[in-house]
């Protein structure tokens, strides 16, 4: 079911968006050489408690996972790109880290992700992250009434292909609101002019993710962590946005 929110309800989502953005900002600041992924997850736990928020991940048990997830943060490192289950791993110089975080505050959910390099960054890693961000910006730019979800997909795919990347469409963006995952699905490649019409009040998470040299993925034995099929690195960025009569509202903008 696709729910269209009223302008008042969209405004009610802003605190959740600000909270999710603030947590990702704090986690990105804390991520450094020598930091354990479990410590980042523990920090996210503390920030959730302090805000009186709820985790969207800890009890999450979809059909594709081996759930419940059991943590409040996704930490994907290097060739891991999505749903990275925090574990006892100490970050090293040059690691490419993707942080994905969703939480419910005051009854509303927002979802966002950021990728960064810990310590010294290799040019190809910086370029991969920049391409993901360019793809996200391109999709947000066409997130207007009168367009369709396929226009978002096509915008993401065009950027990815222009930079020489294949695109895996098994996982992508999604509706957000009272729950973390809802309709419509927003693939990271597709055909413009197709799909669900973008209408004011539609709130969606747009999340381009790319792998350096493949579009093939594999799952870790933990049932969650998704890695590239060839060992190349991945990056992932995401914002929750609301469609309006004019420009979209990016609810998870980070300062």
Residues of the binding site for substrate = 83, 181
Binding residues for a divalent metal cation: 100, 111, 174, 207, 238
Binding residues: 83, 100, 111, 174, 181, 207, 238
CA nearest neighbour of 171 among 130, 129, 215, 135: 215
End-to-end CA distance of the chain: 33
């Amino acid at each position: 079911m696709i729910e269209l929110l009223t302008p008042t309800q969209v405004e009610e989502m802003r605190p959740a968006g600000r909270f999710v953005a603030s947590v990702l900002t704090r986690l990105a600041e804390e991520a450094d050489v020598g930091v354990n992924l479990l410590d980042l997850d523990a920090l996210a736990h503390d920030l959730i408690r302090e805000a009186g928020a709820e985790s969207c991940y800890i009890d999450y048990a979809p059909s594709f996972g081996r759930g419940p997830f059991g943590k409040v943060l996704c930490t994907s490192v290097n060739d891991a790109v999505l749903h990275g289950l925090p574990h006892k791993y100490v970050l090293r110089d040059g690691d490419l880290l993707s942080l994905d975080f969703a939480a419910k505050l005051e009854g509303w959910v927002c979802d966002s992700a950021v990728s960064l390099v810990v310590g010294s960054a290799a040019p190809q890693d910086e370029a991969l992250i920049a391409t993901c961000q360019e793809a996200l910006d391109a999709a947000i730019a066409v997130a207007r009434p009168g367009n369709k979800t396929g226009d978002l997909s096509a915008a993401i795919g065009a950027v990815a292909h222009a930079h020489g990347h294949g695109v895996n469409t098994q996982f992508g963006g999604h509706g957000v609101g009272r729950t973390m995952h809802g309709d419509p699905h927003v693939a990271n490649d597709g055909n413009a002019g197709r799909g669900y019409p973008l209408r004011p009040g539609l709130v969606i998470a747009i999340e381009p993710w790319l792998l350096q040299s493949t579009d093939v993925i594999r799952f870790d034995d933990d049932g969650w962590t998704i890695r590239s099929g060839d060992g190349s690195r991945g990056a992932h960025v995401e914002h929750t946005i609301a469609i309006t009569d004019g420009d979209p509202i990016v609810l998870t903008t980070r300062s």
